[in-house]
Amino acid sequence: MSTKEDLIHGLNEDLAAELGTVIRYTYQAGKAFGFRGVELRELLAEEIQDELGHAAFLMDVIVDLGGEPTTTPKTFAKPDDLKAMLDLDLEMELQDVEDYMAHAALADELGEVELKFKLEEMAADEAGHARELRRLLKGL
């Protein structure tokens, strides 16, 4: 039987991942050079806004559930080469999809209906990010 504490813990892991993604994408935008780098910078600029929205939502929900939101970002690898950056981003977006779906199921189990749907929606956002990254990777 899962508890509200399990849900708060899971959401804090998601929040750490979102904060890490905002920093990772901002960092990668600074390290992306050349014509392909320009394309990556454009994509990352859009996605950073989505991830900030996700982080803000998670902060609110964790507080609402009586928890303390983390401000510590998840750490990430820093490859130099553009393809390795994109491979890493794709892998981490897919991990986010998996985590959000798992936590949506947890929210469902605890009767948190709105949260369940919002987490599924965020999983869909991350799946969309993964699709855009796959498109960029195909062209490399």
Q: How many amino acids of this chain bind Fe ion (CB under 5 A)?
A: 6
14 near Fe ion (CB under 5 A) = no
Taking the complex as a whole, how short is the minimal distance between the CB of residue 130 and Fe ion, in angstroms? 8
- The upper half-sphere exposure of residue 113, i.e. CA atoms within 13 Å in the direction of its Cβ, equals 0
* Residues constituting the chain: 140
Among 24, 54, 103, 116, binds Fe ion (CB under 5 A): 54
Among 14, 99, 112, 126, binds Fe ion (CB under 5 A): 126
Residue 134's alpha-carbon distances to 47, 99, 123, 128, 140, in angstroms, are 14, 20, 16, 10, 10
Residues between 32 and 51 that touch Fe ion (CB under 5 A): 51
89 near Fe ion (CB under 5 A) = no
Identify the burial level of 120 via C-beta atoms within 10 angstroms of its C-beta, where 0-12 means exposed, 13-18 middle and 19 or more buried.
middle
Nearer to Fe ion (CB atom), residue 3 or residue 22: 22
